[in-house]
Structure 1
Amino acid sequence: MLKTKFISSSFIVVLVLSIILTACGPQRDTTEIKQEASNGEAPDKPEELTFWAWDDILSTFQVIGDRYTEKTGIKVNVIDARNADLSLDAPAGKGPDLYYETHDRIGDSYLQGVAAELTLTEEQLSGYEESALEAFTYNGKLLGIPSSVETIGLFYNKELVPEAPKTIEDITNIAANLTNTEKNEYGFLNITSDFYPMFPFLTAAGGYVFGENEEGGFDTSDIGLASDAVVEGANLIRSWHENNYIPKSVTYDVMNGLFREGKVGAIISGPWGIPDFSSGLGDNLAIAPLPTFNGNQLQSFLGVKGMAISEYSENKYWATDFALFMSNPENSKFLFDELKRIPARSDVTVDDELYQGIQEQIQYAVPMPNIPEMAQVWNPMGDALVFISQGEDPKEVLEEAVATIKEQISLLDGSN
């Protein structure tokens, strides 16, 4: 059944490239990036800084860059560029001083020699969400300054579900009462073949992706996705399919369309879905934190975006200063107002009721592992979830998935 090897040719290509790029990284200066010059004064200002960002955020970050120019006199160039080119462009002198990055890619970036280690004071770090800083920390080293955070929440239609479900039992009862497959109506839907939105339910009774080593990093030999607690979560998921509460092959397009049309009571989604669902449901749309199980709040994955400083930059001090400026309370609020990016700060509260539901869940979210080995988890767990939805034995399926993950990680580590 599940004894299918997921080690494809594309995986081997990624593995080889990762090894080559890591080997080509710089001889990293072990001297800490000081935020003050040795004489207590800031180093001379550069004429300009270059910041690599993404197309959908360029104009907003350029506004913030212009504010920084007014404050410091340093010109800021916000450029649309691909981070995938960093490992080649940065050593060649064509890279940025700092770049926009997701936390789950920061480990790779560091191993390739691109992301610089940061040393910041408690005062500089004050106000940032601890979990966001943790997300940008790799093997005890802070590698980025968080700008925004995101996670999933419980989206519900108040016309069908007047009050937010508080527990998984509430979710199951809503599914039982509102589901009518002949009319294409459902009480609750989630994409049960995707490990990302299913992680909270799989680990409702306990469990984890990677354990923790003595240094506080991830122990990739300890994978907690086939424990009795995770099997309990998997049995819950299987029961939803057995009772026909959730179709076995539902897709995001189908789920989102049905919810937007008012045919689903509640779904699991993230802030990216708010504009679309608001246009369909209007004031009937509401968002709450994920429900509880046995009194414990479900934990979702936390995603963090922020700024990393290039190891190859000659202006690390000022690049770091600009990153801190971009993510200060005032500019974090501006970023939310313009782009609806939830601030990675505990001292900034958004004034949009829908996004407040997501922000509340963030306190229960755990950073998605930011190590390269995490890439080997998604496909095996996604395949395992498909088998579980089809009625296969959860324990056997999960044990097989963990074995596959470990085998792929052993290839990544070169230990096989």
Structure 2
Amino acid sequence: MKMNKWVSAASALLLGATPLVASFVGGVESASAQETLIVSAAGQFDYVSENIKAFEEANNVKVEVWDKDMFEVLDGLSLDGPAGTGPDVMIAPYDRVGSLGATGMLLPVTLNDEAEYDDTDKQQVTFDGEIYAAPATIETLVMFYNTDLLEKAPETFEELEGLLKDDKYAFEGEDGKNVGFLANWVDFYHTYGLLAGYGGYVFGEDGTNPEELGLNNDGAVEAIEYATKFYQESWPQGMQDKTSAPDFLNQSFMDGKTAAVITGPWMANDFNNSGVKYAAAKIPTLPNGEDYKPFGGGKGWTISAFTEKQELAQKFIDWVTSTEQQDIMYERLEEVPANQVSRKKAAESGSELTAAVIDVYKNAVPMPNIPQMAEVWTGAENMMFDAVSGSKSAKETADAAVELIKEAIAQKGY
């Protein structure tokens, strides 16, 4: 079954509205003028630009829409903000919200009550007790499976292991290797759901305590040992290369050689274009009976600390996160809404991909948004490769990664 097109990006917008007070000089009234508020939101550009007129009219403002790269805008805020050339409102990934708030780049925002955000939603955008973004979208890994090869979605990892014993999926060129099921576990982002499912974690206290790291606890080590078996017993050598593994996995699935893969919803568009017949589903249950718990992510609306239009910026955020607008956003872009009311409606839309994202997100782990998270990506970069290649044991590679992360955090002086 084909999925609807999935769009995962950011958009940008410009908004403004502070009418100038009319004055009389010599009996002649000067013309009033609208101000402009700048809002950056790259992947949401089409939705915002098509629907912003109602907001403009209701608030007597002028809105311009930027279509600039999200990360380029965020990275440039420290210079563009003071210079008066940056945006007033920006869309940002949740894992950037904490560091931007910590460095004084963002103002706190007020959440829209009608969105009915839960604790997980709020955790994604909170740093040191302050809420620095209004959740807009949610995103996490899912399982895609080939409907020509499988009658129904696998529900357990035992079923996925069974695919790797089926000669139908034997990999040509490497005796004994199989591509029936693939997951890019040499990449830390993709393997985290496995680690967390076995009890591993990044930081303690729900990702807020960098003094406590859980990537080398007993559960994490067990997860690494489990992943290593796939590489040593089943998967081709190319799956160990973290640079080429994503292309290997995706191409094998699109060529109809692989029955099931774990990857992101952002791949749906490429899968559509390839012509492969597929569906999406929740990631199967792990051998220990626990759910696969990948990072939960997404994007939220933020207010620049350099804006002179904070009240208007907050009005825009209230508007864009309203149930009405989140419904429209989903219909236009098919990104899963963070607004809980809209999310429930999207879950009933008939899209298997949307349902899969929502199902997995229920057990997803909010990605830590504290500044120290930046050091985790580098420290854990080679953790899985060292284990699956056999150069270190699971315990040795986990200990080494944690030590690297601790050293990097200490050196940066957070």
TM-score, normalized by length of structure 1? Answer: 0.82
Could you tell me which amino acid in structure 2 is paired with residue 399 of structure 1?
D
Q: 1:224 to 1:403 in 2, by over 3 A?
A: same
Tell me the SS of whatever aligns to 1:295. Answer: coil
Structure 2 letter corresponding to 1:225:
L
Counterpart of 1:7 in structure 2 is none
| Residue 356, structure 1, aligned to residue 355, structure 2 | yes
1:251 correspondence with 2:240: no
Alignment of 1:8-407 (within 5 A): 47-54=35-42, 56-81=43-68, 82-120=73-111, 124=113, 126-177=115-166, 178-182=168-172, 186-212=179-205, 218-247=208-237, 248-249=240-241, 251-282=245-276, 284-293=277-286, 294-348=288-342, 349-350=345-346, 351=349, 352-391=351-390, 392-407=392-407
Q: Distance between the aligned counterparts of 1:314 and 1:125, measured in 2?
A: 27
Residues 1:275 and 1:217: Cα distance change in structure 2 (over 3 Å): closer
SS at match of 1:77: strand
Give the whole-Å Cα distance in 1 for the aligned partners of 2:67 and 2:270: 26
Match of 1:8 in 2: none
Distance 1:317 1:295 in 2: 49
Asked whether the 8 Å contact 1:179–1:245 carries over to 2, the reply is: no
- TM-score (normalizing by structure 2): 0.82
1:137 shift after superposition: 0.6
Deviation sequence 1:37-69 (CA, Å, 0-9, x none): xxxxxxxx9743221222x43232222322211
The alignment partner of 1:296 has SS state of coil
Contact 1:150 1:302 (C-alpha < 8 Å) held by counterparts: yes
Query: Quick one: which amino acid aligns to residue 240 of structure 1?
Result: F
Return the letter of the residue paired with 2:194.
Answer: F
Deviations 1:354-394 (A, max 9, x none): 22211221111111111121111113322011111112310
Conserved in 2, the CA contact under 8 Å of 1:262 and 1:281?
no
Structure 2 CA distance, aligned partners of 1:74 and 1:394?
A: 58
- How far is the alpha carbon of 1:246 from its aligned partner? 4.9
Deviations 1:261-305 (A, max 9, x none): 1100111111110111123345x3111111222222111111121
**Contact 2:37 2:88 survives alignment (8 Å):** yes
Relative to structure 1, is the Cα distance of residues 366 and 315 closer, same or farther in structure 2, using a 3 angstrom cutoff?
Answer: same
* 1:170-229 CA-partner distances (Å, limit 9, x unpaired): 2212222254122786111111210011111123221110001xxx76111111000111
Q: Deviations over 1:137-176 (max 9, x none)?
A: 1112100011111100011112222221212222212222
Give the Cα–Cα distance (whole angstroms) in 2 for the partners of residues 246 and 337 of structure 1: 40
RMSD between superposed Cα atoms in Å:
2.1
Note the C-alpha offset of 1:336: 2.0
For residues 155 and 324 of structure 1, what CA distance do their matches in structure 2 show? 35
- When residues 176 and 281 of structure 1 are mapped into structure 2, their CA distance, relative to the original with a 3 A threshold, is farther
Q: Is the 8 A contact 2:143 2:260 kept in 1?
A: yes
Contact 1:115 1:308 in 2 (8 A): yes
Structure 2 residues without counterparts, runs of 5 or longer: 1-32
